[in-house]
Chains A and B, each alone.
Chain A
């Protein structure tokens, strides 16, 4: 009966529930497993990285130098597109000046000229090539004990060609790469720490660590290296570490090559021992044992010098040259006393004819240095032979009416005395060098050797002796001395014997034609005042004015006087009228020059019929909306900006230029102006400039006053263009 009732409700319920659960679970599981595996993702339990700390590399420096005050001139090169600003070099320049150095910025031909009186030359990040003349001058400077510091800077120089054009002469090559270290650095892989110091040099005294911030590697002989990287240092263009040279000494220890400029600047000077290194570099620069020779005239004098003339007649006949001598000495900071007697204890510039100097101590000094005046006639065939036999000579006898026929330079040559001038520098070194030359010459001059050893050699005084057979030749000798060009003379380091043509010897037919007067200075414009409107000596105003004056004097053969407002003050109107024309030179910096006082002086000068050239960057900007600009410059300020070249506009001042003119020096950001009224445009901005065609040089004339206004310092033109421009301006000034 029970079975026949079929499935009970309870059973159905139970089975249904089981089916519900089982099928549900199967469905759940099947679907889930269709998508997901049995293992679920477990993310890593990884602690976050701690941020590493960076240690600071602090330096230690004892700021004072054991240096005694030095009286040395240090030149800073600005003529090779040098990649530095004066302001950023304050640490280094300050260290130089605080140790007594006089710092001058020089560019162009001033570099070679400046080396004559300098103790050291600093060349910072040059980008353009040194020409052969400059290289020769620097090599000669180093040979004479001058110190040269060359500093490269990979982040500023476009290539190493410029710097290598000089350093190759000293067997140093800057490689076109930079040094880095991934491990031994100060916060950056390019800021490499150097701890390997070689050589026994003042440069590396007291150094344990220095840091160069991006440095050139140097290719040098190993013995020249003084600072090297460790085994972790690489050259950027090479895969091999180690052996990287960062600084080297050459030129018998007088030529220092450094790889980085940044460490000389703040704040990098304070890293590691960089300050000590800077001090060492200053010590190096100021401690050279500079030897002077004739070519360095007049810079070997210190303080005062006696200009000794043996006879009044001599002074009268060579008056112009004597004045030049005096001016040259003055420009070198040497005060001159005119005296009649020679003293071996003082600085001396001695002028005399052979006959006038018979009894002179100066001639005795000459003899002591191996130069004898002899009555012996010489055969032309024997002129170049070294001999001392025969005839009498100054130094041997005291013949009153002695008239020498020949000059004997011991161990070098015998020359005829007619038309000959002897220029001889007496220094402690001169005696030493001559003795060495004599040793080389052999034993045949034993008598003279003994004589030389008996003559006292002075420690401090420098004496230049100029002797000639007549006063005209003497004047020629002075010219040669002033020019420093002894290429036409027979020379040793301290002696030059030059044959010059005397009118007495040459006769009327052989008299040289007087040079044709140059159109400018040689014509109506006889004298020019060049005003360097400088704040401090050596700034861009000074450099530009000196460039202008140099061209006026040397290229145009004129008489130009430099006036430095930094030392001479503002010239008065009377000062300006003392000259036929005035060139007022402002520099490349803005807003420090043409004040109201300046404008007043120039206005009054022009009102009185003056002839003025005013040049410099930012003058129009400084004087905008002033009466001076509208009534005297007669232009209106437009704007300022980059100026790459200028284009002549056919004005008499620019008519000698055929084509676009480019600059050789810095011009900053010159103004552009709009001429007002009858003002003419002389030059416009070149095509590559931001505003081509706008006026950058103008000229105005009204029958009495004449003014040329240049919105850039004209000293930035190269020598040829500057000569052409000044020639044209002065011709225009002198035209009716």
Chain B
């Protein structure tokens, strides 16, 4: 009897324990799921922090390159450099160039940007002279067959003459005009050589490294590239001055491919730039006073411009 009693007590206690055990298991599983979900959320959050949705930034190089327009080009490029989500940049080009110094500024800016993010140039209409110079560091150039490419060279007027008078005094013969005609000829030649050499070196790298098989052999000697001639893009492709015949969409896809990104967003960096309230972003703003000093001095102005009129 005593053994039966003990046995009955034991049977009465087990269901409760079993129930509790089941409850603990269920709650344990729920807890694990919740922790897993939290972990997933944290993972997503962490991913967003370290790997935001990539953006292909569009920069427009349209019109004459000068001190009136340079913020419109350099501002978006600086945004592209600053923002982590901008994975690659596509520069849409339709310009015959303009002031030498601004074109050179763009060249070196693109050169710096390319170290971190791929840059693809898409020639919509014209990419001539300073515009071609500015985008020469691009990892890839896409153009429509009938687009115009080239005009590699410099234009300038001669420095003004100066005649001695009795009303002003200078301490050297070139204090007024800056340099002799002879030196001016050397200077302009030196600038032209810098222009052609920079372009030649950049294009050589692209043709050597960015194509499945090197296309370096296509590139004519530098003196033939620097005649100031323009070519249609179809011909420029044969000469190694552009890399692909295609559209803006091709350029964007190529930029994404070079950056190694998918499911990217395409945004207009110029729109981003002009929406900024900050009037001093990266040193540029939309309401900057017109800096025309360079064009008003007695010094000669150098232009990388395709055409017969700097205007």
Contact = CB atoms under 8 A, between A and B. Distances in A.
Interface of A: 1, 3-9, 11-12, 15-29, 31-32, 34-41, 43-44, 46, 48-54, 56, 182-183, 186-189, 191, 267, 270-271
Contacts of B43: 23-29, 31
Q: Which 5 A-B pairs have the closest CB atoms?
A: A19-B36, A6-B21, A20-B39, A24-B43, A27-B43
A286 to B, nearest CB: 29
Given A46-B205, A182-B227, A51 B47 contact: no
A22 to B, nearest CB: 7
A27 B197 contact: no
B266 to A, nearest CB: 14
B41 interface: yes
Contact of A15 (B28, B42, B202, B224): B28
Max chain B CB contacts within 10 Å: which of A9, A29, A35, A39?
A35
Given A4-B14, A7-B28, A35-B262, 8 more contacts: A23-B37, A28-B44, A31-B43, A35-B263, A41-B259, A43-B117, A44-B205, A46-B202
Contacts of B227: 182, 189
A188 B188 contact: yes
A220 to B, nearest CB: 27
B31 A16 contact: yes
Contact of B32 (A15, A27, A51): A15
Contacts of B205: 44, 46
Contacts of B54: 35-36
B186 to A, nearest CB: 5
Given A22-B39, A24-B42, A31 B224 contact: no
B234 to A, nearest CB: 20
Contacts of A189: 227
A23 B193 contact: no
A32 B260 CA distance: 12
A46 B114 CA distance: 10
Interface string B252-295: 00000011111110000000000000000000000000000000
Interface string B184-207: 011011100110011001100100
Contacts of B182: 56, 267, 270-271
Given A19-B33, A31-B48, A51 B39 contact: no
A617 to B, nearest CB: 21
Interface string B223-240: 110110000000000000
B47 A37 contact: no
B211 interface: no
A9 to B, nearest CB: 8
B44 A27 contact: yes
B51 A36 contact: yes
16 contacts: A4-B14, A6-B23, A6-B25, A12-B28, A24-B43, A28-B46, A31-B47, A32-B47, A35-B264, A43-B117, A46-B205, A54-B193, A56-B182, A186-B185, A187-B186, A191-B185
B223 A183 contact: yes
Given A16-B34, A49-B198, A52-B194, A37 B260 contact: yes
Contacts of A24: 38-43, 46
Given A4-B17, A43-B117, A19 B39 contact: yes
B181 interface: yes
Given A32-B51, A52-B194, A188-B189, A182 B223 contact: yes
B250 to A, nearest CB: 18
A230 to B, nearest CB: 14
B217 interface: no
B130 interface: no
A36 B190 contact: no
Max chain B CB contacts within 10 Å: which of A25, A187, A188, A270?
A187
B181 A267 contact: yes
Contacts of B262: 34-37
B46 A41 contact: no
Contacts of A56: 182, 186
Contact of B42 (A8, A16, A20, A34): A20
B193 A4 contact: no
B261 A35 contact: yes
Contact of B185 (A21, A22, A187): A187
Contacts of A20: 35-36, 38-39, 42
Q: In the complex, which range does the number of interface residues on chain B fall in?
A: 35 or more
Contacts, number: 172
Nearest to B154: A188
A51 B193 contact: yes
A294 B309 CA distance: 57
Contact of A27 (B40, B226, B260, B261): B40
B40 A23 contact: yes
A52 B195 CA distance: 10
Contacts of B117: 41, 43
A191 B189 CA distance: 11
Contacts of B258: 41
A579 B27 CA distance: 137
A15 B201 CA distance: 59
B162 interface: no
B118 interface: yes
Contacts of B34: 16
B1 interface: no
A28 B189 contact: no
Contacts of A38: 260
A5 B17 contact: yes
Contact of A52 (B21, B23, B193, B202): B193
A41 B114 CA distance: 10
B119 to A, nearest CB: 9
A6 B24 CA distance: 6
A182 B152 CA distance: 13
A23 B190 contact: no
A6 B28 contact: yes
A660 to B, nearest CB: 33
Contacts of A5: 17, 20-21, 24
Nearest to A25: B43
Given A19-B33, A24-B43, A187 B51 contact: no
Interface string B113-151: 011111000000000000000000001000000000000
Contacts of A270: 182
A46 B23 CA distance: 66
B36 A187 contact: no
A23 B47 CA distance: 13
Contacts of B185: 186-188, 191
B260 A41 contact: yes
Contact of B190 (A17, A28, A54): A54
A15 B33 CA distance: 9
Max chain A CB contacts within 10 Å: which of B47, B193, B202, B263?
B47
Contact of A16 (B17, B23, B35): B35
B11 interface: no
B111 interface: yes
Contacts of B37: 23
Contact of B24 (A7, A188, A267): A7
A25 B46 CA distance: 9
B197 A49 contact: yes
Contacts of A35: 51-54, 261-264
Nearest to A180: B227
A5 B42 CA distance: 32
Given A6-B20, A36-B260, A56-B186, A21 B28 contact: no
Contacts of A4: 14, 17-18, 21
B209 interface: yes
Interface string B49-89: 01111100000000000000000000000000000000110
Contacts of A26: 40, 43
B15 to A, nearest CB: 10
Contacts of B202: 46
Max chain A CB contacts within 10 Å: which of B21, B31, B185, B190?
B185
B163 to A, nearest CB: 12
Nearest to A6: B21
Contacts of B38: 20, 24
